[in-house]
Structure 1
Amino acid sequence: MSLALLGVFSNSTAQEKEIELDPITITASLTPVSASKTGRNILIIKGDALQKLPVQSIDELLRYVPGVEVQSRGPMGAQGDITIRGGTFQQVLVILDGIRLNDPLTGHFNSYIPISPAEIDRIEILKGASSAIYGTEAVGGVVHIISKTFAAKKQSNGHKINAQLTAGDYGLFNTQAGISMHQENTTASVGVLTNNAKGQPLRGTKGYFNLTTISASIKQQLNENTSVAYRFGYDDRAFNAQNFYTTFLSDSATEAVVSRWHHFKLQYQKNKHRFSFDAGYKQADDVYRFRKAVSPNVNNSSLFQSLAIHDYTINDKSSITSGVQFISRKITSNDRGNHEVSNAGAFVVLNQKIGENLQLNPALRVDWNERSGWEIIPQLNASYRMESILFRGSLGRTTRDADFTERFNNYQRNPVPSGQRIGNPDLTSETSFSYEFGADYFITPSFKLSTTWFERFQDDLIDYVTTPYATMPRQVNLTPGGTYLLTSNINKVNTTGIETDVQYTHQFTDDHSLAGGLGFIWMRSRSSDTVPSLYVSNHARELINFNVIYRYKKLGFSVNGLYKNRRAQPIASPFVPISKDYFLLSTRVDLFLLKNKLAVFVQVDNIFNKRYSDLLGSVMPQRWVMGGVKVNL
């Protein structure tokens, strides 16, 4: 269990409890429990991290989490693919306050999270197989964003206000702001995040982006046992998408994605019983234009889901959690057509303590998908505490069905030129078996070392494979003699890795703090196919993430960095080198003018001016200088 980014220290008083190295988590078992009792590798990120680290968006923050890889196409939230443990970007499940966000159209939109940073209490990252609880897509892991309002418990009346303004090179102007309040039985919050820039020069254009997220939520305690909550989110992203999806010189693409999010939650708790019911609805409108002379792809998707969970505490050593879930996905598209698919699942999880040191967490899910039928998904997690060392292990099965882009991309375009991605409606669902074992060594109350070995054995993994026209299963709208990227089931892919992370955090005095985290992961994937696929071959083989935050009196200093090494990408742009390896470093210096309430800062991203590309030919920004002011009241 790594918590390297929990190293974001508190700016309050030395009397506050130091950051725990074994916090309470809900993601691994849906029941509040110490992370050391889950048998899993879990990371916790505090919600105020975006105001303390040199990052401007949630996906940028995740880039520096040990064991998490973000393959970025654009800066500051324009687009980033989240991958964990060498999986593809569709194999990570993103959830907000307990229910899923993964877009029905494409996993490229999964990092478009409809909540402002001001509303985030914490982010829990669960690495490894998690389908027994969460169902499809929880293959490499789960990213769970938990809001302040939905997580709120009894607290004193009052309100908090925070704001941050940032300006810099290339017309950059960013805003973060939020207000939260608690009065008697009511908790509410609202926040906004905007990132805007004319952008660094690209090939014949500029990499502009205008990204806005607005969110609001309210929770009402009806009586001692019952509460209701509601959340609304609006997310609007318009950006230059040159070479986000192709390697063509003629690509001058732009894209705009607007999504709306509604979430209702009912909770009831009395004696040994706890019940919750969630209903969520997401709409997303996507307009992608390859260049001005070409008519745009217009895609509209919707996601409806309901989730009911019951938790029963048997005694002080045993509890059982059960739940049922229903999900409906739809799209209407001038490129992919109109489609709908539903699935449902039921699951049960047992939390059992044996003796004083052993914890077992078996889980079982029965899942039904309208396209692929029934699946049985088991999981077993275990942990054993021996003084300052915690041993943990897990094994389980996962499954994932293809999204609508993987099945139907470019099905209604005519003609489709060589080099494009083509969907495949005949795809079967992926399945995999994963296991892991590791240990956490609590060296001191402020210093922890973690290491984990993991393996994943995948059947029918879905990815894009280079395929000549002659062997394409459908040729009606293709160019004879061309070569395409066909979505295919790869027979077998085995991924092996080891991850190690170190965390240190210490509050010396009221205004003297040091915190930091370092993570290293080594991974190798072996495919049964002789032709390398796009995303499997692109994940990092070695990845190092680190961060350091130091505060002394009125001066604060923070630094983020990462080193990535991978195989050369099989599909490379002729005009932008695909970086086999690269090192990035960003830094930020804060000057506190009014203790913990008012500060000015200077930030430099990519301080060594590295030119690199994560995917295809999409160029990432080089050195970017910015500065600003932040207020906390």
Structure 2
Amino acid sequence: MQHVKSHQIFPQSTKGTKPFGNTKFFQIISNHANLRFRFTFAPTLKKTNKLIMKKTTVVSLALLGTLTLQAQSQQVDLDPVTVTSSLNAIKSSRTGRNLVIIKGEQFAQLPVNSIDELLRYIPGVEVQARGPQGAQSDIVLRGGTFQQVLVVVDGLRLNDPNTGHFSSYIPIAPSEIERIEVLKGASSAIYGSDAVGGVIHIITKTFASRGERRQISGQIGVGEYGLVNGQAGGFYSNGKTSFGAGMISNNSNGQLQRGTRGYFHNNTVSVSAAQHINDNLQVGIRSSFDHRDFAAQNFYTTFASDTASETVSTFWNQASVNYQKNRGKLSANIGYKSVEDEYYFNPVSIPNNNKSKLFQAIAAYEHRIGENSYLTGGGQFQNRKIASNDRGNHTVKQAAGFLVLNQSIGEGFRFNPAIRVDWDERAGTELVPQMALSYRKGMVQLRGAAGKTIRHADFTERYNNYNKALVTRGSIGNPDLKAERSFSYELGADLYASNNLRVAATYFQRNHNDLIDFVTTPYSDMPRKTNIVPTGTYALARNVSEVTTRGFETDLVFQKALAPAQNLLLMAGLVWLDSQTDETRDMFYVRSHAKFMTNFNVRYAYKGFAVAANGIYKNRAPRKAAAINAEVTKEYFVLNLVAEAAVYRQQVRLFVQADNILNTRYSDLLGSVMPGTWVMGGVKVNWSK
């Protein structure tokens, strides 16, 4: 009997856990000046009850509001330039969209250990984590499935052809990140498939460099459960030549789980360079390697026999050319991604081995028609491949052409129509339109957007368990899946109460046709019975006829220099969601998103001292799995804290950090229990010029 990995109701293929070995991935980092030592232990705390969780959430948000009201006005840019919403650089308030932008430097200032943990506390972003410190997380925006968020790195899509579970494996070291732009809502007219709930755009220092700049940073740490953590990075730019490189390594034996230890060895190395050939021409290249080896017990199933482990290796390469002269700007980007995934369900099983490849190219030409008008057009091509002992060997080609207009009328009104013709070798041709409007008068901005979105099925949804000789239970792919289609619209308002404070509120609705989800299906209704049995229990990938998701979100971003040597940063968000479907059979991903969620980051610095906190509260549909004594509780609250003090100027700082300080026992997805309290301490160094 064989099982195959796909989702969390049924088992998939199989892999025994690996013994922990001493990691020597970054021994050379010990010679660098920038080090961070982390000592980790897990003291026992009494579990906080639901009432305290709620009160803590309220108190936290009230405190943040009080800090905001006490601040004095000062010039801080909360309306930064963005390239995500319309491909050309414009102020975020002119896009007609709700965007949240976080600087890369905040990774080192907040209590987070990996990029997916940083995303978890960005307002409005729901990260459904299966394991700590980059093991695996699903990214959700506005109640979509995890496949409906597109992750982009410097203009190129990162989403893997095999499965959306790999979208959080971002092959960039944190030290290389200039900023992260989160665009919420429909974006398929510009980006194509997967940009349904929104877009996460990682923009790096090398590809966005302007002027002279030098920076070196690093950290290393050890702790309980064989913890060995490290980060290092450097960036150099003289205005013409830019070079960046970095690494991050998170390693541990792991805490004891039901059937194994939750070990992880997650390592990323990236290097990039850019050159201004002359005043008009710039070229850039990047290469990176990401390797993650982790315990995956009950990541995808709820069976007691699941003691899984998984290894995912990613090579990422990209190149860009930009030429600008007079009123025109031409850009071309190519990328190649190769991923090998090996998954064992338990020590006696045959592993799934999946090798996926993605080649992509995109070219765009931006022309300034007038002072208030920009027109951008371009084309995109993708070649997606997989070679798998479970899913078989397949290739799909995709191509598209798009046109985007940015037009201003008068002082405050702007509209941004876009249209895309998208062709998929299996799904055919789609016409995808979109429109965004905005009007700003003084401190208030009104905005609205509407558009069609599409998503093509990945190889797991089409072919999961197809290449096995016999499958007695599990998730089954469906080659005949149609493309998802939906229409989304939103209305919102932004208040720029001062130069330091922005508050956004948005109502949105998305009406789906043919949404793809795994649905419990009896043997008699299975379209293919070649390798299944009448007594089996199966979930079939199906097009659900109709799903409507509506919601309301608020974002608050505040940044302020309160007085000499005092600074306050605050980001907070709240999301309410409701999804309705006419499907009566049990589904999984559609109903897994939070119904209510609030998350926040706050950091206060005074001279050489700083304290920061982030937290998240979720209310969602509860689930239970008696076989493994697991549950998704109706609600949970997690709070993380870090305090640091400078010991040499501002370059060397000691810190103490506590993750999950309330020792909340929780799971984002059924069976994947997240760690309890972790207390850490160490030293970090940063130098810049």
Distance apart, 1:627 and its partner CA: 1.8
Give the AA of the match of 1:415: L
Could you say what secondary structure the match of 1:338 adopts?
strand
Matched residue, 1:480: 534
Partner Cα separation in structure 2 for residue 18 and residue 414 of structure 1:
66
Q: Verify: 1:246 aligned to 2:301, yes or no.
A: yes
Query: Counterparts of 2:167 and 2:634 in 1: how far apart (Å)?
Result: 25
Q: Is residue 577 of structure 2 the alignment partner of residue 520 of structure 1? A: no
| Matched-pair contact (CA < 8 Å) for 2:622–2:631 | no
Once the two structures are superposed, the pairs formed by residues 441-452 of structure 1 within 5 Å of their partners are 441-452=495-506
Conserved? CA contact 2:273–2:284, under 8 Å: yes
2:594 is paired with a residue of what secondary structure?
A: coil
User: For the structure 1 residues 184 and 501, does the alpha-carbon distance in structure 2 shift closer, same or farther, using more than 3 Å as the test?
Assistant: closer
Partner-residue secondary structure (3-state), 2:570: strand
Instruction: Give, in whole Å, the separation in 2 of the partners of 1:549 and 1:60.
Output: 16
2:410 alignment partner in structure 1: 355
Cα distance in 1, alignment partners of residues 96 and 623 from structure 2: 35
Deviation at 1:383, TM superposition (A): 0.3
Equivalent residues, number? 616
Q: Which position in structure 1 is the counterpart of 2:247?
A: 192
Structure 1 residues 337-346 or 602-611, which shifts more? 602-611
Superposed CA offset, 1:147-187 (max 9, x none): 0000012x12x531001223333222211110111235210
Aligned pairs for 1:320-469 (under 5 A) are 320-418=375-473, 420-469=474-523
Q: Which shows bigger deviation, 178-187 or 118-127?
A: 178-187
Provide the TM-score with structure 2 as the length reference: 0.88
Contact 2:241–2:273, Cα closer than 8 Å, also in 1: yes
Residue of 90, 104, 129 corresponding to 1:33: 90
Match of 1:177 in 2: 232
Task: Give 1:276's match in structure 2, choosing from 315, 331, 337.
Answer: 331
Number of the residue aligned with 2:106: 49
**Aligned sequence identity (%):** 51
The aligned residue for residue 91 of structure 1 is 148
Flag the 1:462–1:42 CA change in 2: closer, same or farther, 3 A.
Answer: same
CA contact (8 A) 1:573 1:616 kept: no
The 1-side partners of 2:320 and 2:624 are apart by 46
Deviation at 1:593, TM superposition (A): 0.9
Note closer, same or farther for the CA distance 1:320–1:421 as it changes in structure 2 (3 Å cut): same
**CA deviation after TM superposition for structure 1 residue 204, in Å:** 2.5
Q: CA RMSD in A?
A: 1.5
CA contact 1:534–1:569 (8 Å) conserved in 2: no
By how many angstroms is 1:67 displaced?
Answer: 1.1
Q: What residue in structure 1 maps to residue 16 of structure 2?
A: none
User: Structure 1 residue 114 and structure 2 residue 196: aligned?
Assistant: no
2:181 aligned partner: 124
Note if contact 2:553-2:575 (Cα within 8 Å) is conserved in structure 1: yes
Alpha-carbon contact 1:168-1:624 (below 8 Å) kept: no
Deviations 1:331-365 (A, max 9, x none): 00000000000010000001000111100000010
> What SS does structure 2 have at the residue aligned with 1:480?
strand
- Any idea what SS the aligned residue of 2:632 has? coil
Q: In structure 2, list runs of 5 or more residues that go unmatched.
A: 1-60, 65-73
1:32-58 residue CA offsets vs partner (Å, 9 max, x unmatched): 000000000001010012100000111
* TM-score, length-scaled by structure 1: 0.95
1:596 CA displacement: 2.1
Compared CA separation, residues 572 and 68, structure 1 to 2 (3 A): farther
Match of 2:49 in 1: none
Shift, 1:570, TM fit: 7.8
Distance 1:577 1:44, change over 3 A: same
Return the alpha-carbon distance in structure 2 between the equivalents of residues 437 and 572 of structure 1.
Answer: 43
Change (3 A) 1:509 1:572: farther
**Aligned AA (1:55):** V
Amino acid at match of 1:274: K
Aligned equivalent of 1:583: 637
Q: Which residue of 1 aligns with 2:346?
A: 291
Shift of 1:471: 2.1
Q: Give yes or no for contact 1:458–1:493 (8 Å, CA) kept in 2.
A: yes
Structure 1 partner of 2:287: 232
Check the 8 A contact 2:625/2:671 in 1, yes or no: no
CA contact (8 A) 1:168 1:627 kept: no
Q: Which runs of 5+ in 1 are unaligned?
A: 8-16
Q: Matches of 2:509 and 2:359 in 1, distance apart?
A: 33
With 545-554 and 567-576 compared, the bigger mean Cα shift is at: 567-576
On the 8 A contact 1:534/1:570 being kept in 2, the answer is: no
Give the C-alpha shift of residue 94 in structure 1.
Answer: 0.4
Q: Please point out which of 504, 524, 536 is paired with 2:558.
A: 504
Partners of 1:576 and 1:511 in 2: CA distance? 48
Structure 1 range deviating more: 596-605 or 396-405 = 596-605
Identify if the C-alpha distance between structure 1 residues 346 and 165 changes in structure 2 by more than 3 Å, giving closer, same or farther.
same
Q: Mean alpha-carbon deviation: is it higher for 83-92 or for 544-553? A: 544-553
C-alpha displacement at 1:252, in angstroms? 0.6
How far apart, in 1, do the equivalents of 2:167 and 2:302 lie? 23
TM-fit CA distance, 1:526 = 0.2
Instruction: In structure 1, give the amino acid aligned to 2:189.
Output: A
C-alpha separation in 2, matches of 1:79 and 1:588: 23
